[in-house]
Amino acid sequence: MKKEKKPMLTVDGIIIEKEKILLIKRATQPYLNHWALPGGFVELNETLEVAVVREVNEETCLRTKTNRLIGAYSDPKRDPRGHTVSIVYFMKTTAGSKPKKTDEAKEIEYFDFDKIPEKIAFDHRKIINDAKKYLKSRNLL
């Protein structure tokens, strides 16, 4: 019997500081040297909330907690490795937590929403635009 392929589950975190969004410059393929939201694959027996906290920490060294679910992104073509579904959260950093480069992130930077770099990985530009709309609708930007 042929094994049925299924979408892979991922998570991404949106961190806002002083009306700027945190992005990482990817140190791995796909999208090497493109900017992205921190995130990655959910592991077996892991909740989405635990996964996004772990992934954000692995890529930025930030200690965070989930704040609010922003949405789910499921375009089958969003990731060249195969069909992924990403669940995206707004995140809060804990006091004293500072971002640091890692093996997965060559650079980490906060960007104004109006100055997002051209080279953005996956469908993260859409996610960033959705986050911006949400924040503006609540007068948070």
Q: Is 2 among the domain residues? A: no
Q: Do β-strands 84-93 and 64-73 pair in parallel, antiparallel, or remain unpaired?
A: antiparallel
The residue from 19, 49, 107, 118 that is catalytic is 107
Domain at 110, CATH number: 3.90.79.10
- Is residue 3 over pLDDT 80? no
Region 36-60 average pLDDT: 97
Q: Is 64 among the domain residues? A: yes
Q: What is the value of pTM for the model shown?
A: 0.93
As for how many domains the chain has, the answer is 1
- Is residue 4 over pLDDT 80? no
List, in sequence order, every residue forming a beta bridge with 66; answer none if it has no partner.
91
* Residue range 74-101, pLDDT digits in tens: 999 999 999 999 999 999 998 888 999 9
Q: Would you state the pLDDT for residue 71?
A: 96
* 107 assigned to active site: yes
As a whole number of angstroms, the distance between CA 52 and CA 48 comes to 6
Region 17-44 average pLDDT: 97
Q: Is 84 among the domain residues? A: yes
Which residue range forms the structural domain that includes residue 41?
Answer: 8-137
